[in-house]
Amino acid sequence: MKGNEALAEAAIMAGCRFYFGYPITPQTEIAAYMSKRMPKIGGTFLQAESEIAAINMVIGVASTGKRVMTSSSSPGISLKSEGLSYLAGCDLPALVVNCQRGGPGLGGIQPSQSDYFHATRGAGHGDFRMIVLAPSSVQEMVSLTFKGFDLADKYRMTSMILADGTVGQMMEPVSLDLGEVTDYEKPWATTGTEMKREHNIVNSLCLQPEELEDQNIARFARYAEIEKNEAMYESYRMDDADLCVVAFGIASRVAKNAVDTARANGVKVGMIRPVTLWPFPKDAIAAAADSCKAFVSVEMSMGQMIEDIELAERCRRPVLLCSRVGGMIPTERNILDTIEEARKTGGAE
Amino acid sequence: MTATERVTLFAGHYGSGKTNVAVNYAVALSRSGPTAIADLDIVNPYFRTKDAEKVLKENGIRLIASDYAESNVDLPALPADAYSLIDDRSVKAVIDVGGDDRGALALGRYAPGIKAENDYRMLLVVNMYRPLTSTPEDCAVIMRETQQAAGIDFTGIVNNSNLGEETTADDVLRSAEFANGLSKLTGLPVVMTAVEKSVAPRLEGRIENIFPIEVYVRQGIDR
């Protein structure tokens, strides 16, 4: 299946019956697929008049506790930023997909990872986080979408699938064997009181500063739980490594090849692939800094994740950047060159 | 495998492999005379006939594609010289139609000319291993929507059922029943079964009308 279609089917299997979106390359297949599938299963597909309208429709359905999603690509995700902040302020679960393309501005239509900061830091105004999942294959478009809905419900917050144009467009064989959907109690949902309980109110407005402070503190206590329990990563050939490549999403597919080639040439290099970008797998990076002399951050941005690596390892080891931008994917040669540079810089074997 | 009709059109669900089959077909046609291929896919700017420019050039096949193809400009523009394919009856023409009904809509403006000449095949490319086209019934829906938008009815089926690089001979054999089911349902003949050329020899004598193909249009990530 194509990445975007596989993601859409996984969302349906996760129980999502509401999709609101607006077309934009390279994620339009998600909307196209939903438009064909949702009517057949009693779900709702709606092409909104804009990205902003779509995210506000998501807020509406999320308030009722139903699984709901929207998807877009970078410029469209910028438009949704206000809604992402409101979702956080209302403590609502939702799944938002960003199939990234090059920016800033209208940028281009080719794949990119340059919305890392937006997803992990600045998705909108106010103090809040989103769970950010970064698929590197069509199979992970499926498994992380399933996981994303689960985490969103579990912690009452937005999960973002931070994909890119390549993972969205490419085709790979995929298994849709995903296991059972966990049903979470949602006593806060606005489903009608039937005159048997007090009204549930979903709202992000809080004019009393003491209350607003309490809400923020409570939210961040939840975030601390997530940082403790939900960080996901893949460790590849790290056992005896004295250099560590860090890469996520499609860039990690190329990086893996580069690690194999460098290993074949006797360089002791491994890779840590963050699967969750927030929470960032800080402990794994910190542990790698104990044994590795240097890091290489492979990114399709001007160097955004590199800051998280430096923070996680407390700047104990140098972190070199291997980056291609504007829709370019780093080549194995690009990565091998930076590994070689890191070997010299870090004094590794 | 190549037919006598002057114009061959490939249409079907997006992602069914139309473009790759069309390029292979053009290569096969080019062995017996001047051949041109037109990319009318204005829906998805990520995969284009132009990706196969090298093989087309090597085989002397004229490529007619939008000025914007591969420029990454996300404009649904049709190539200006596509009409020349309809008018110049000295070349064999292959037309790669866009995916689904939306993509096929662009064919509408050329349809009257093609039908007036009445020397064409309109082929439905199907891959049962793709979502939304895994049953003959689903394919028939897409077929009806597509031909309605295109203004030309299908005349045959190309079974291009595959699982990419993981395709085995058994996968292709399993798809024969599906293709025959679609044939029965629509009354259209299965004119060829496209099989990657390393798999094709294992199907010799087990499936009719095998069309061995190479994969020209793809994005390589893994080795």
- Does the beta carbon of A33 lie under 8 angstroms from any beta carbon of chain B? yes
Of the candidates B74, B164, B223, the beta carbon closest to that of A172 is on B164
Check residue B70 and give its pLDDT.
Answer: 61
**Dist. CA A8–CA A29, nearest whole Å:** 9
CB atoms within 10 A of CB A234: 17
B76 cis-preceded (ω within 30 degrees of 0): no
Contacts of B219 in chain A (CB under 8 A): 166, 169-170
- Tell me phi and psi for residue A269, to 5 degrees: -125, 145
Contacts of A211 (CB under 8 A, 6+ apart): none
Share of chain A above pLDDT 90, in %: 95
Task: Report the predicted TM-score, pTM, of the whole model to 2 decimal places.
Answer: 0.87
**Dist. CA B50–CA B63, nearest whole Å:** 8
* Span A116-131, average pLDDT: 96
Contacts of B132 in chain A (CB under 8 A): 5, 33, 36-37
Contacts of B222 in chain A (CB under 8 A): 253, 257
Check residue B83 and give its pLDDT.
Answer: 85
Of the candidates A6, A169, A257, the beta carbon closest to that of B46 is on A169
What number does CATH give the domain A3-181+217-229?
A: 3.40.50.970
DSSP state string for A306-327: HHHHHHHTTT-S-EEEEE--TT
Share of chain A above pLDDT 70, in %: 99
| CATH code for the domain of B60 | 3.40.50.300
What number does CATH give the domain A234-346?
A: 3.40.50.920
Check residue B223 and give its pLDDT.
Answer: 47
Contact predicate A31/A47, CB 8 Å = yes
- Taking the C-alpha atoms of B53, B58, B62 and B63 in order, what is their torsion angle to the nearest 10 degrees? -10
Least confident of A205-214, A273-282, B159-168: B159-168
B interface test, pick of A73, A136, A170 with most B CB neighbours within 10 Å? A170
**Dist. CA A288–CA A280, nearest whole Å:** 14
Which carries the bigger pLDDT value, residue B223 or residue A330? Answer: A330
Check residue A164 and give its pLDDT.
Answer: 94
Amino acid type, A335 = I
Integer CA distances (angstroms), B223 to A127, A166, B51, B55, B65, in order? 43, 16, 19, 21, 30
Domain boundaries for CATH 3.40.50.970 within chain A: 3-181+217-229
A interface test, pick of B41, B72, B141 with most A CB neighbours within 10 Å? B72
* Span A194-215, average pLDDT: 95
pLDDT tens digits along A33-90: 999 999 999 999 999 999 999 999 999 999 999 999 999 999 999 999 999 999 999 9
Whether residue A3 has pLDDT greater than 50: yes
Check residue A345 and give its pLDDT.
Answer: 84
Contact predicate B211/B194, CB 8 Å = yes
Nearest CA in chain B to A40: B132
**Dist. CA A257–CA A32, nearest whole Å:** 33
Residue B218 resides in a domain: no
Residue B34 resides in a domain: yes
- Tell me phi and psi for residue B62, to 5 degrees: -80, 130
**Dist. CA B93–CA B104, nearest whole Å:** 17
- Does the beta carbon of A250 lie under 8 angstroms from any beta carbon of chain B? yes
* Span A269-295, average pLDDT: 98
Residue B150 resides in a domain: yes
* Pairing, β A131-133 against β A276-278: antiparallel
Check residue B98 and give its pLDDT.
Answer: 80
Contact state of B132 with A36 under an 8 Å Cβ cutoff: yes
DSSP state string for A217-240: HHHHHHHHHHHHH---EEEES-TT
Query: Average pLDDT, whole number, for chain B?
Result: 88
Instruction: Record the tokens describing residue A134, joined without a space.
Output: 């970064």
Residue with tokens 């109690």: A185
Task: Encode B73-120 in three state secondary structure.
Answer: CCCCCCCHHHHHHHHCCCCEEEEEEEEHHHHHHHHHHCHHHHHHHCCE
Check residue A192 and give its pLDDT.
Answer: 93
Nearest CA in chain A to B167: A173
Contact state of B219 with A2 under an 8 Å Cβ cutoff: no
- Does the beta carbon of A108 lie under 8 angstroms from any beta carbon of chain B? yes
Whether residue B219 has pLDDT greater than 80: no
Determine the distance in angstroms separating the CA of B108 from the nearest CA of chain A, rounded to an integer. Answer: 22
Nearest CA in chain B to A330: B221
Residue B21 resides in a domain: yes
Number of domains within chain B:
1
Contact predicate A305/A231, CB 8 Å = no
pLDDT tens digits along B115-165: 999 999 999 999 999 888 999 999 999 999 999 999 999 999 999 999 888
Query: Average pLDDT, whole number, for chain A?
Result: 96
Contact predicate A329/A254, CB 8 Å = yes
Nearest CA in chain A to B223: A257
**Dist. CA A309–CA A191, nearest whole Å:** 43
* Span B199-223, average pLDDT: 82
Domain boundaries for CATH 3.40.50.920 within chain A: 234-346
Which carries the bigger pLDDT value, residue B68 or residue B23? Answer: B23
* Span A204-214, average pLDDT: 96
Contact predicate B180/B135, CB 8 Å = no
Domain that holds residue B163: 7-213
- Does the beta carbon of B163 lie under 8 angstroms from any beta carbon of chain A? yes
